[in-house]
Amino acid sequence: MWLDIFNPHVMGYTHKCNTLPGKLYRPCLSHCYPRVEGAKLLRPVEEIVVQSMDGTDSELFPYLPYILQDIWEIGTLPEIVLRLIEKHTANHSNLSVLDLGCGKGAVSITVARELKCRCHGIDAVEEFIAEARNKARKFEVAEQCVFECGDIRVKIHVITGYDIIILGSIGPVLGDYHSTLTQLSNCLNKDGLIILDDGYIDDASEYRHPLYETRSALLNTISDAGMIVVDESILEREAIAESDEHIFSCIRQRCQELMHTHPEQKSLFADYIKKQEEENDVLENKIICSTIVLSRCT
Ligand SMILES: C[S@@+](CC[C@H](N)C(=O)[O-])C[C@H]1O[C@@H](n2cnc3c(N)ncnc32)[C@H](O)[C@@H]1O
């Protein structure tokens, strides 16, 4: 059994990991259960991470670092977040930024480089965090950036004092929008901002998807959670298609390699390629991809 020394609410068991050759034993985050009274049992982190990367089968989890090895910007476009933070804050170098589900740190590192502020990125994939730390050294912002491996569903209960919280393409990891925004309230300073990069369905559209709300439903939820939208940047369809095309060709190539080296898992990788194609169609044609800046209602 192990205990997270940074978070006494968390403990877990080291278990045998069958899917990772060469890494037989490792602490498994899915065995982290908050010890707080009345806490809900969390879904396994592998399942949540794979879902946040548009997959459906948690068996994919150990292969994600291989599949995504050619891509640094694995979700949100860093420039958009940078521009919004720059526009809506002052004293940039004093800002303290929390990047939840930071991936390989592309957003945090861009923001830290340009604004000279401090960034704290948390992600559940060890290899992504290792790459984020390497990139921070390469871009000479290692002193300003802390990248930590952990489950954000647990970590958010023990961290406070951030001016900006970035939720960059992580989907409903922390629950629905209402639950996400209320849980984050304790981490955010009084005048702090949340930057939410996600998608919604245009009110005029009849399209429905289990992961996306209509714009008006989203705005109602934001208001019910005691927050308001102070700005929004909508991504052009061409920009989405361009980014999707690059990411998809890298993912397809690496999945095809895995289909050769792990023929017994062929359908796992073929299904992931198919899921990516479907998700790209949703992003490019069915929903509106937008980055929203939220603040507390005064
Ligand atoms: C689509 S990626 C976006 C990464 C990054 N925000 C960006 O925009 O470049 C989603 C990220 O969320 C992370 N993630 C999902 N669930 C998580 C959890 N419970 N705890 C920590 N990280 C999580 C995944 O590991 C993945 O890196």
Nearest atom, ligand 1, residue 99 CA: 6
Compute, in angstroms, the gap from residue 83 CA to the centroid of ligand 1: 21
Pocket of ligand 1, candidates 49, 71, 127: which has the most ligand atoms within 8 Å of its Cβ, to mutate? 49
Please tell me the distance between residue 14's alpha carbon and the centre of ligand 1 in angstroms.
23
Nearest-atom index, ligand 1, CA of 125: 25
Q: Which atom of ligand 1 is nearest to the CA of 173?
A: 16
Pocket probe mutation, ligand 1, options 69, 127, 170, 279, max atoms within 8 Å of Cβ: 170
DSSP string across 98-151: EEET-TTSHHHHHHHHHH--EEEEEES-HHHHHHHHHHHHHTT-TTTEEEEES-
For residue 102, report the distance from its CA to the centre of ligand 1, in Å. Answer: 6
3-state class (DSSP) for residue 166: strand
Residue 240: CB atoms within 10 A of its CB come to 19
**Model confidence, pTM:** 0.89
For 7, the 3-state DSSP assignment is: coil
Atom of ligand 1 nearest to the CA of 73: 9
67 contacts 272 by C-beta, under 8 angstroms: yes
Ligand 1 closest atom vs CA 48: 16
Q: Where are the alpha helices (DSSP H) in 116-150?
A: 126-138
Measured from CB, residues less than 6 Å from any atom of ligand 1 are: 45, 48-49, 52-53, 73-76, 101-103, 106-107, 122-125, 128, 151-153, 168-170, 173
Task: Indicate the top mutation candidate among 50, 60, 123, 275 to test ligand 1's pocket, ranked by most ligand atoms within 8 A of CB.
Answer: 123
* Nearest protein Cα to ligand 1, atom 23: 101
Token pair for 17: 């990991």
Contact 123, 103 (CB under 8 A): yes
- Exposed / middle / buried, residue 177 (Cβ in 10 Å: 0-12, 13-18, 19+): buried
**Domain edges within the chain:** 44-298
Confidence (pLDDT) at 39: 57
| Residue 156, strand partner residues | none
Atom of ligand 1 nearest to the CA of 166: 6
Determine the distance separating the centroid of ligand 1 and the alpha carbon of 50, expressed in angstroms: 9
CB 163 within 8 A of CB 193: yes
pLDDT at 32: 42
CATH topology of domain 44-298: Rossmann fold (3.40.50)
Please tell me the distance from the alpha carbon of residue 90 to that of residue 75, in angstroms, as a whole number: 26
Gap from CA of 298 to ligand 1 centroid (Å): 30
d(CA 53, CA 61): 10
Residue by residue, pLDDT tens for the chain (298 residues) are: 333 333 434 433 333 333 333 332 333 444 444 444 445 689 999 999 999 999 999 999 999 999 999 999 999 999 999 999 999 999 999 999 999 999 999 999 999 999 999 999 999 999 999 999 999 999 999 999 999 999 999 999 999 999 999 999 999 999 999 999 999 999 999 999 999 999 999 999 999 999 999 999 999 999 999 999 999 999 999 999 999 999 999 999 999 999 999 999 999 999 999 999 999 999 999 999 999 999 999 7
Of the candidates 64, 104, 77, 38, the one whose C-alpha atom is nearest the C-alpha of residue 290 is 77
Q: Whose CA is nearest to atom 10 of ligand 1?
A: 170
What's the CA-to-centroid distance between 74 and ligand 1, angstroms?
9
Which pLDDT belongs to residue 41? 84
CA of 204 to the centre of ligand 1 (A): 30
From its phi and psi, is residue 126 left (phi > 0), alpha (psi between -120 and 50) or beta?
A: alpha
